[in-house]
Amino acid sequence: MSHRANADQGAGVVVVGAGFAGIAAVGVLARAGRRVTLVDRHGYHTFQPLLYQVATAALNPGDVAFSARRLLRHASGVEFRQAALIGLRLDERVAALDDGTELAYDGLVLATGAATNFFGVPGAAEHAVGMYTLDDADRVRDRLFALLEQADRQAAGAPSPTPVRLVVVGGGATGVEMAGALAELLDAVVPRDFRHLERDATEVVLVEARDALLGAFAPQLRDYARAELARRGVRLRFDTTVRSVTATHVVVEPGGALDAGLVVWAAGVSARELPARLGLPQAGSGRVQVLPNLSLPGHPEVFAVGDVAALPARDGGTVAQLAQPAIQSGRHAAEELLRPGGPPRPFRYRDRGAMATIGRRAAVAELPARVRLTGTPAWLAWCGLHLVTLLGARNRLSVLVNWTWQYLSWRSGPNVVARD
């Protein structure tokens, strides 16, 4: 791209965050020939829907991460900068990065994502592990295997060892997938790889504050998920809230203290830090308050999209923090930036449905037009969708190899290694 063309375009668009929302915005802008700088504190995009498979050693971390620079290779007008956003001067249209540089922009898309919301529960941030980043998934996996090592060693010496209890907090899609995968992992590895342990002396408990799993799904799908989790030995505790977490226990109400070797926190995310630090208007859970077209009040050139934004839903509430809303909002912001001066067009989320997998050949899928799948058809739909949307042909191949292997040899369990 010539110097002249750049000058014609002005400072270009800065997109902050290489998650689903940011990548979607970059895609639309790049296809329109706009000059874009993508900024992300990591060098990679994380395919978050499969993090629970990294956490349960079914996939390697590299299978769900995709190099940001590689992703942008064929977009000649797009640059990548590995840095974190630390400040904004909205009136000057300047973003400050933690590498000491500043980027001028004439359009800005904030897609910085969220962080696990521990809801201020004492000890949760210190002792529970979220399920939002690749590091989270690594941490769950490493703690889990260290716990099994330790329990196996204790069981070898003691006649009645302490049971191994894994607690998942939150019965949404992430919690359900995590609990199901943990139960299947215990089924697969305990009897064969940790021979002093009894499977019966290990347990997965799912704690949910409300009276049902998968609140966003239809009742028959919720019932199916509940039955499938129970069939896999997951103990379900409804109407139960977590009061505190320590290194060895979780205190629930009702119920009191429960031994817990690992607490996975899948109760929700919030965007509280960055919007507050940047002085942006905030909605619930610390998300950025945006206008109907996803721009900031008073700054039609600045957009917030994906998990960091309170994306308006048609019913007046906000859209769930999932991949589809992130992608659609990223695209919408980019389209708005491509027609400056035009009348703002409100973001309208098109519900493409939702899926959650409970285990091998067990999933629920809520598709448009009230199509509802359970069991093997839902599971196959889930596998296909995730393979198709997983970025990058090599990652797809690698995941396919791992999944096929896993499926054919499931009883023999996974071989992803825990690192310490």
Q: Which residues are catalytic?
A: 177
Torsion sign (Cα): 235, 238, 242, 243? negative
For position 60 contacting its own copies by CB under 8 A, the verdict is yes
Report d(CA 97, CA 114) in Å as an integer.
18
* Residue listed under structure tokens 């069991």: 375
Q: Which range of residues in 172-180, 203-211, 321-329, 386-394 is near its own copies by CB under 8 A?
A: 386-394
- Show contacts with its own copies in window 167-206 (CB under 8 A): 189, 192-195
Smallest separation (angstroms) from its own copies to the CB of 194: 7
For position 397 contacting its own copies by CB under 8 A, the verdict is yes
How are beta strands 65-67 and 44-46 bridged, if at all? antiparallel
Closest CA to 303 of 323, 280, 284: 280
For position 158 contacting its own copies by CB under 8 A, the verdict is no
Nearest residue (CB) to its own copies, 142 versus 351: 142
Report d(CA 261, CA 177) in Å as an integer.
19
For position 63 contacting its own copies by CB under 8 A, the verdict is yes
* Residue listed under structure tokens 């329990």: 151
Q: Which range of residues in 55-63, 118-126, 296-304, 343-351 is near its own copies by CB under 8 A?
A: 55-63
Among 20, 52, 132, 145, interactor with its own copies by CB under 8 A: 145
Report d(CA 205, CA 346) in Å as an integer.
42
Tokens of residue 336, six digits: 């708005």
- Show contacts with its own copies in window 25-54 (CB under 8 A): 42-44
Smallest separation (angstroms) from its own copies to the CB of 53: 13
- Show contacts with its own copies in window 317-346 (CB under 8 A): none
Contact call for residues 272 and 174 (beta carbons, < 8 A): no
Smallest separation (angstroms) from its own copies to the CB of 282: 29
Contact call for residues 109 and 13 (beta carbons, < 8 A): yes
Q: Which range of residues in 77-85, 112-120, 220-228, 352-360 is near its own copies by CB under 8 A?
A: 77-85
- 177 contact partners, CB below 8 Å, separation of at least 6: 52, 356, 357, 358
Angle, alpha carbons 54-57-58 (nearest 5°): 80
Report d(CA 44, CA 114) in Å as an integer.
16
Q: Which helix (H) or strand (E) holds 24?
A: helix 20-31
Nearest residue (CB) to its own copies, 69 versus 345: 69
Q: Which range of residues in 118-126, 330-338, 352-360, 395-403 is near its own copies by CB under 8 A?
A: 395-403
Task: Give alpha helix (H) positions in 158-197.
Answer: 173-193
- Show contacts with its own copies in window 203-262 (CB under 8 A): none
Among 47, 66, 105, 379, interactor with its own copies by CB under 8 A: 66
Q: Which range of residues in 61-69, 167-175, 213-221, 298-306 is near its own copies by CB under 8 A?
A: 61-69
Which residues here bind its own copies, judged by CB under 8 A? 42-44, 60-63, 65-67, 69-70, 73, 79, 81-82, 99, 101, 134, 145, 149, 153, 156-157, 189, 192-195, 392-395, 397-398, 401-402, 405, 409, 412-420
